[in-house]
Amino acid sequence: MIPISNDPKRRRQDPNDRIQVLASGSVLVDYGPMRMVITAYEGSKPLTYLAREGGGIAVGILEDLAKFLPVIRKKSKDLDIEAGFPDVVRRMIKATQKMGEADLTPLAAVAGAASDVVSDLIFSQGGSKIIVDNGGDIAIRMKEGEVAKVGIKTEIDAREPSYLLTIDTTLRAGGIATSGLGGRSFTKGIASAATIVSESASLADAAATVVGNFTNVEDPSIRRTRAEMIYPDTDIAGEWVTTGVGELSKEKVESALVNGMEKADSIVKRGLIIGALISVQGRVVWTDTLGPLLTKIG
């Protein structure tokens, strides 16, 4: 989960100072825990006014999330969706409940849900292609005939992507998200990256968390600690998370990949995601559904 604070001292900066227009015509929202890049196009022409509109929406989402922290820190299985919940909270709860995992809270889908809300609202106002990248959890909305190419990293903290994912409107892919070691959120597994493609960013985000958690083996070189020892306000207090992994045997790497892929395949079969790519210590695998969409870079 991405830490969100309701402490006004930690969020007192002027929101207008956190929305920047980039040279490309995209807009960067750098506000509290959110670092979101919003791009809107009509054909090849950037629609900066739409991206700026999205920036204002993003700031409002962060304010809403802070108000509902007591709700979104609870286990998703214990929550009912109430009329007074903002759209982003509803999406977080729905996405995590669909995963069917008892340990998930809505915060497992927070970044993807925020991307979905921003992209849907500005796409309804215009543009032929909208891309909202919230720290690697990406929402894509396109009109017929448009194509999007997204770089996929096999290590979250890598500088450059290793694969190029190409999607068009026939695929109905609206979200891409990645979880794993070195990311903004905790993981219980050992994947360098677990990337999910789904119809929405919120579903992709929740599924990436689950698949990443399932890339798990036992080995003396794997370091773990309780989540609250790293972040006292965590929503998963008492649960063990991975903090580092030493060199593993080929057998352990393969076992972790098999565990993750079995989970990913089961979620694909349930129709919740389109496909998954998982990387563990340089070994990369993907679901059959994703292979045709990937191109190796370099």
8 Å CB contact between 2 and 113: no
- For residue 223, the model assigns a pLDDT of 96
What is the residue extent of each domain of the chain?
Answer: 8-296
Q: How many CB atoms lie within 10 A of CB 23?
A: 5
Reported as a pLDDT band with limits 50, 70 and 90, residue 183 is: confident
Q: Is the pLDDT of residue 4 over 80?
A: no
State what percent of residues in the chain have pLDDT above 90.
Answer: 86
Q: Is the pLDDT of residue 16 over 90?
A: no
Candidates 3.40.50.1110, 3.40.50.300, 3.40.47.10, 3.10.520.10; CATH matching 8-296: 3.10.520.10
- For residue 80, the model assigns a pLDDT of 94
Q: Is the pLDDT of residue 286 over 90?
A: yes
Burial of 41 (0-12, 13-18, 19+ CB in 10 A): buried
- Which segment of 56-60, 88-92, 97-101, 227-231 scores lowest on mean pLDDT? 227-231
- For residue 6, the model assigns a pLDDT of 45
The whole-model pTM stands at: 0.92
Reference 67, options 1, 14, 8, 113; nearest CA is 8
- For residue 8, the model assigns a pLDDT of 42
- Which segment of 108-117, 165-174, 199-208, 225-234 scores lowest on mean pLDDT? 225-234
- For residue 165, the model assigns a pLDDT of 97
- For residue 294, the model assigns a pLDDT of 96
**259-277 burial code (b ≥16 CB/10 A, e <16):** bbbebbbebbeeebbbbbb
Q: Is the pLDDT of residue 73 over 90?
A: yes
- For residue 84, the model assigns a pLDDT of 93
State what percent of residues in the chain have pLDDT above 70.
Answer: 95
- For residue 9, the model assigns a pLDDT of 42
| Token pair in block for residue 121 | 């609202």
Reported as a pLDDT band with limits 50, 70 and 90, residue 87 is: very high
Mean pLDDT across 98-123: 97
Mean pLDDT across 5-28: 69
Q: Is the pLDDT of residue 158 over 60?
A: yes
- For residue 33, the model assigns a pLDDT of 87
Phi, psi of 32, rounded to the nearest 5 degrees:
60, -130
| 7 or 59: which leads in pLDDT | 59
| Token pair in block for residue 163 | 């694969």
| Token pair in block for residue 115 | 């991307």
